[in-house]
């Protein structure tokens, strides 16, 4: 059954490193606001310390996670074992977006693959770390990463991706501020 941890131990770190996909959940403070749940991949999650993780946020059509983090910081990451031993790990914490030009950007960005579409790095200070059995999670086989997002951004180029961010990533669907420009 489930356990809670005070920090990311070696076993949890190894589990996190093995996962090809994870999910990010956030929500605005407003009761009628939209809860956001996003799948992530492309080797974009890193353990920074026993109580902190970060993931590379790539340009997309929405900006919900960044907007919610700017408003209230609440964020949960969920990782599921789709192969091997069944397990679910949830990382609850307070997140913040580090964007290009911020003092921390270069040091953090150096820990991830370089992508033209990188728009922020979400840094999460962990408040609760828990796992559970994952007995109900089906088995899936990893085939490969999808290449469309990377190819789209590379074809556009950095300047066009930044223009897209200005157009599409200024506000969340609930009107919260997104990326600073």
Q: Is 141:127 a contact under the CB 8 Å cutoff?
A: no
Question: pLDDT by residue (tens digit) across 62-110?
Answer: 999 999 999 999 999 999 999 999 999 999 999 999 999 999 999 999 9
pTM score over 0.85: yes
pLDDT at 155: 97
pLDDT in the model for residue 53: 98
Contact yes or no for 144/152 (Cβ under 8 A): no
Distance CA 54, CA 104 (A): 12
CA distances from 31 to 24, 35, 93 (A): 19, 10, 20
Q: How confident is the model at residue 1 (pLDDT cuts 50, 70, 90)?
A: low
Please report, rounded to a whole number, the percentage of residues in the chain having pLDDT higher than 90: 97
Condensed to tens digits (0 to 9), the pLDDT of residues 140-154 reads 999 999 999 999 999
Per-residue pLDDT of 103-143, as tens digits, reads 999 999 999 999 999 999 999 999 999 999 999 999 999 99
Tokens at 178, concatenated: 């997104």
Domains of the chain: residue spans and CATH = 3-168 (2.30.110.10)
Is the model more confident about 1 or about 75? 75
pLDDT score recorded for residue 91: 98
Question: Is residue 2 scored above 90 in pLDDT?
Answer: no
Q: How many CB atoms lie within 10 A of CB 121?
A: 24
- Which position has the token pair 């930044």? 162
Q: How far apart are CA 126 and CA 50, in angstroms?
A: 9
Tokens 């026993």 locate to: 50
């Amino acid at each position: 059954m489930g356990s809670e941890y005070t920090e990311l131990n070696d076993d949890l770190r190894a589990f996190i490193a093995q996962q090809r996909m994870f999910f990010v959940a956030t929500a605005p403070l407003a009761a009628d606001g939209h809860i956001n749940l996003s799948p992530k991949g492309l080797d974009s999650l890193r353990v920074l310390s026993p109580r902190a993780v970060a993931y590379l946020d790539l340009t997309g059509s929405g900006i919900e996670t960044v907007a919610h983090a700017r408003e209230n910081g609440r964020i949960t990451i969920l990782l599921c074992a789709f192969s091997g031993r069944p397990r679910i790990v949830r990382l609850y914490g307070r997140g913040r977006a580090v964007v290009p030009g911020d003092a921390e950007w270069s040091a953090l960005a150096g820990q991830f693959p370089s992508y033209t579409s990188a728009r922020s790095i979400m840094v999460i200070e962990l408040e609760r770390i828990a796992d559970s059995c994952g007995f109900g999670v089906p088995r899936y086989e990893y085939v490969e990463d999808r290449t469309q997002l990377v190819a789209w951004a590379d074809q556009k180029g950095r300047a066009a991706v930044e223009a897209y961010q200005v157009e599409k990533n200024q506000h969340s669907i609930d009107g919260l501020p997104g990326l600073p420009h």
